[in-house]
């Protein structure tokens, strides 16, 4: 009973880690290490699907360094088989061809990994990891004394569901961060941009692609025309820029707004009655 309670505590610790991280490397290493302890397995790996190369890949710690490993998505790889079919594998002895053929006539185990490392793979548990109904990875556990139980499968199926969410979130976050870095790189080469808005803060024109980059390439300049500036750029709402724009509309004087990486000069254009008709916004990278 005490051992079951400890397992439950460990399960919820893992659950907390899975749901709190957006770091794909942490999912592949720290979370997997915790699951290994929960299952009492000798080794565990979370493989992710690489559709372009028809491979599974993962990262493992070797001498404090993260090293990428890859296996083909074929029936000569147990994890590859699970990725192809979506079937759970619970193998008592990976070297027992009779056991493998009883599952699928083409299923086999590639011993070259063992021969290179001197390791002896015996019991194997492979569980598909899905996100939005699609297989995005395979969790593989090796060499639990006396093999893996039905309870182990139930635990891993529950964790695999959560791992799918974590993998999907982490990979999506990684893409966003890469795009963010790319935008920052592009902005490094675009030193200045100009935008003209009217007194109602609607965009009248923009002189170059600077604002397209600022929008994360969600809008082309032509598509911005006529739209509220702060609706196109909600990240600039409630900042010093919006405050200074409002002041310039009220008093008709030039303003300067300082943002994290930009200086924005706000130049009012007045009509013959000294009423603000337009504002010229000049963005300069600082």
Residues 199 and 121 in one domain: no
* DSSP designation for 94: T
Helix or strand or coil: residue 23?
coil
The reply to whether 180 falls in a domain is no
CB-CB contact of 121 with 93 (8 Å): no
Strand locations in the chain (E) = 43-50, 55-62, 65-72, 89-91, 124-131, 134-142, 192-198, 203-206, 255-258, 262-270, 276-285
* DSSP designation for 31: I
pLDDT band at 9 (very low <50, low <70, confident <90, very high): low
Q: What percent of the chain has pLDDT over 90?
A: 37
Query: Which of 111, 143, 171 is the last residue in one of the domains?
Result: 171
Read off φ and ψ for residue 67, nearest 5 degrees.
-115, 130
The reply to whether 182 falls in a domain is no
CATH assignment at residue 125: 3.30.450.40
> Which range is least confidently modeled, 108-122, 199-213, 265-279?
199-213
pLDDT in tens, 46-74: 999 998 889 999 877 666 677 888 988 98
CATH assignment at residue 213: 3.30.450.20
Residues 212 and 124 in one domain: no
Q: Measure the CA–CA gap between 216 and 202, rounded to whole angstroms.
A: 19
Residues 112 and 230 in one domain: no
pLDDT score for 3: 45
Residues 261 and 146 in one domain: no
Q: Measure the CA–CA gap between 236 and 243, rounded to whole angstroms.
A: 10
Task: Report the chain's terminal Cα–Cα distance, integer Å.
Answer: 63
Query: Which of 104, 138, 171 is the last residue in one of the domains?
Result: 171
Q: How many domains does the chain have?
A: 2
The reply to whether 184 falls in a domain is no
User: How, if at all, do strands 65-72 and 55-62 pair?
Assistant: antiparallel
The reply to whether 211 falls in a domain is yes
Q: Measure the CA–CA gap between 174 and 60, rounded to whole angstroms.
A: 19
Residues 194 and 110 in one domain: no
pTM as predicted: 0.60
- Write out the residue range of the structural domain in which residue 281 sits: 190-285
Percent helix / strand / coil, the chain, rounded to 5: 45, 30, 30
CB-CB contact of 169 with 186 (8 Å): no
Q: Measure the CA–CA gap between 245 and 256, rounded to whole angstroms.
A: 9
Residues 67 and 209 in one domain: no
pLDDT in tens, 232-268: 888 889 999 999 999 999 999 999 999 888 889 898 8
pLDDT in tens, 168-208: 888 877 777 766 654 554 444 445 677 889 999 998 876 55
Residues 201 and 167 in one domain: no
Determine the longest span between alpha carbons in the chain, in angstroms: 94
Q: For residues 163-174, b (16+ Cβ closer than 10 Å) or e, as one string?
A: bbebbbbbbeee
* DSSP designation for 208: S
The reply to whether 57 falls in a domain is yes
* DSSP designation for 69: E
pLDDT band at 6 (very low <50, low <70, confident <90, very high): very low
Residues 121 and 205 in one domain: no
Residues 157 and 202 in one domain: no
CB-CB contact of 21 with 31 (8 Å): yes
Q: Which residues pair with 266 in a beta bridge?
A: 255, 281
Residues 130 and 204 in one domain: no
Query: Which of 108, 142, 171 is the last residue in one of the domains?
Result: 171
pLDDT score for 18: 72
Residues 110 and 214 in one domain: no
Q: Measure the CA–CA gap between 21 and 259, rounded to whole angstroms.
A: 29
Residues 201 and 125 in one domain: no
Q: Measure the CA–CA gap between 81 and 72, rounded to whole angstroms.
A: 9
pLDDT at 1 over 50: no
The reply to whether 164 falls in a domain is yes
Structure tokens at 106: 């083409």
Rg (CA), the chain: 28
């Amino acid at each position: 009973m005490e051992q079951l309670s400890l397992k439950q505590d460990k399960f919820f610790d893992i659950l907390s880690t899975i749901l709190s991280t957006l770091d794909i490397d942490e999912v592949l290493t720290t979370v997997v290490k915790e699951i290994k302890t929960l299952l009492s397995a000798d080794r565990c790996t979370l493989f992710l699907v690489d559709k372009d190369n028809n491979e599974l890949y993962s990262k493992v710690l070797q001498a404090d360094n993260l090293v990428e490993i890859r296996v083909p998505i074929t029936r000569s790889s147990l994890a590859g088989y699970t990725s192809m079919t979506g079937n759970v594998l619970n193998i008592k002895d990976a070297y027992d061809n009779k056991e493998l053929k009883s599952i699928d006539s083409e299923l086999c185990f590639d011993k070259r990994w063992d021969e290179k490392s001197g390791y002896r793979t015996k019991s194997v548990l492979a569980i598909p990891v899905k996100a939005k109904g699609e297989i995005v990875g395979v969790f593989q556990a090796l060499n639990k004394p006396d093999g893996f139980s039905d309870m182990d499968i139930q635990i891993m199926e529950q964790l695999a569901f959560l791992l799918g969410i974590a993998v999907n979130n982490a990979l999506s976050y990684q893409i966003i961060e890469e795009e963010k870095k790319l935008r920052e790189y592009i902005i490094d080469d675009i030193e200045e941009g100009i935008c003209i808005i009217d007194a109602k803060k609607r965009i009248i024109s923009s002189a170059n692609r600077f604002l397209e980059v600022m929008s994360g390439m969600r809008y082309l300049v032509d598509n911005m025309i006529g739209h509220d500036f702060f609706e196109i750029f909600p990240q600039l709402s409630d900042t010093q820029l919006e405050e200074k724009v409002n002041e310039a509309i009220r008093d008709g004087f030039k303003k300067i707004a300082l943002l994290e990486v930009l200086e924005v000069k706000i130049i009012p254009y007045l009509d013959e009655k000294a009423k603000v008709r337009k504002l010229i916004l000049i963005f300069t990278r600082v």
